[in-house]
């Protein structure tokens, strides 16, 4: 770590998806602060442009939808051409939807899976050829939800379990290329998604509050960013935010056992009907900050300047 403290990410380039806000924007800022350069990918051009302006010549931005493979490939190829290399990739783009399986509509469910799983595939697929040249590293942002299921977030839980599996398989497939793939498992981070869910659905907050630590706690964005930046520097196989999230991984069989079900079932009988009523009253399945584009229309924004 002493060598990293001196050199940081000098000469390195990071591609970040979902870079407009939250974890993606925070990691981009920290990476540049440690001497690196960043390619910002996302769907909110005003925020991307503002962040790139804030970070100066070390940053450039491309508007690209994680649901569109051609747009993602074009953006990542353009970033590699712009900066001359790609050393790190943070597959961070992700959304959540509300509603139980019987309640949520098909389009909303599929959108979460498409962005959170297929979007990771599209990011890795497009970036691996560039990472091979630098013997680089990709970090996939999964979640505590990869191990801890929560009623009313079926699409999110399924997608984050899928993202974890996809990352672990990709890790096996690219090892012979000198490329490494890791998985990050943030708990509930103080971002728009978590704040929006608690504001929209009071029962969600109640259910989460009854989960064991760390599933019942909210972690600061700064703590999450620090852990992910350290993961990038050390090319970690797993990044747990907080570290206690590792316990959720180890105890997953117990939680899903008959003993775990016996503990959970009375609470679910009480709270799931309330949760469904709140979603119905809300009249939407997404939190308030989900950017929308037409997936049939690729959008790639070239940066200005060298």
Per-residue pLDDT tens digits for 16-41: 999 999 999 999 999 999 999 999 99
Q: Which domain holds residue 140?
A: 2-243+252-282
Residue 198 vs residue 284, higher pLDDT:
284
278: pLDDT confidence band, cut at 50, 70 and 90? Answer: confident
Rounded Cα–Cα distance for residues 99 and 11 (Å): 45
pLDDT(304) > 90: no
- Helices marked H in the chain — which ranges? 2-7, 22-33, 45-55, 69-83, 106-113, 119-134, 154-174, 192-200, 202-209, 221-234, 245-250, 252-255, 258-282
Residue 109 lies in a domain: yes
Residue 303 lies in a domain: no
Q: How many CA atoms lie within 13 A of 91 on its CB side?
A: 35
Rounded Cα–Cα distance for residues 138 and 158 (Å): 21
pLDDT of residue 193: 72
Number of domains in the chain: 1
CATH number at residue 179: 3.40.50.720
List the catalytic residues: 156
Give the predicted TM-score (pTM) of the model: 0.87
Residue 293 lies in a domain: no
Residue 264 lies in a domain: yes
Residue 132 lies in a domain: yes
Residue 91 lies in a domain: yes
Residue 291 lies in a domain: no
Whether the link from the prior residue into 214 is cis, omega within 30° of 0, is yes
Residue 37 lies in a domain: yes
Asked if 300 and 78 count as a contact pair (C-beta separation under 8 A), the reply is: yes
């Amino acid at each position: 770590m002493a060598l990293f403290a001196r050199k940081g990410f000098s000469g390195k380039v990071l591609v970040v998806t979902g870079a407009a806000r939250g974890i993606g924007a925070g990691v981009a800022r920290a990476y540049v602060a440690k001497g690196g350069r960043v390619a910002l990918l996302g769907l909110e051009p005003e925020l991307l442009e503002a962040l790139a302006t804030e970070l100066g010549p070390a940053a450039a931005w491309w508007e690209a939808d994680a649901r569109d493979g051609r747009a993602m490939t074009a953006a990542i190829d353009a970033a590699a051409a712009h900066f001359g290399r790609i050393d790190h990739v943070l597959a961070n783009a992700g959304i959540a939807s509300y509603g139980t399986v019987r309640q949520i509509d098909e389009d909303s469910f599929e959108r979460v899976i498409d962005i959170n799983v297929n979007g990771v595939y599209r990011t890795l697929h497009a970036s691996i050829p560039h990472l091979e040249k630098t013997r680089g590293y990709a970090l996939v942002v999964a979640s505590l939800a990869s191990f801890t299921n929560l009623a009313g977030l079926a699409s999110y839980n399924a997608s984050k379990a899928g993202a974890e599996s996809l990352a672990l398989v990709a890790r096996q497939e690219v090892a012979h290329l000198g490329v490494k793939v890791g998985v990050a498992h943030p708990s509930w981070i103080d971002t728009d998604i978590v704040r929006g869910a608690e504001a929209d659905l009071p029962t969600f907050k109640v259910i989460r509050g009854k989960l064991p630590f760390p599933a019942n706690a909210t972690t600061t964005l700064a703590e999450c960013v620090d852990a992910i930046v350290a993961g990038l520097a050390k090319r970690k196989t797993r990044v747990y935010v907080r570290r206690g999230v590792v316990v959720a991984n180890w105890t997953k069989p117990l939680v899903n056992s008959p003993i775990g079900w016996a503990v959970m079932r009375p609470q679910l009988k009480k709270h799931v009907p309330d949760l469904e009523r709140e979603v119905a009253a809300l009249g939407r399945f997404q939190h308030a900050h989900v950017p929308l584009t037409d997936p049939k229309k690729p959008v790639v924004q070239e940066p200005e300047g060298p």
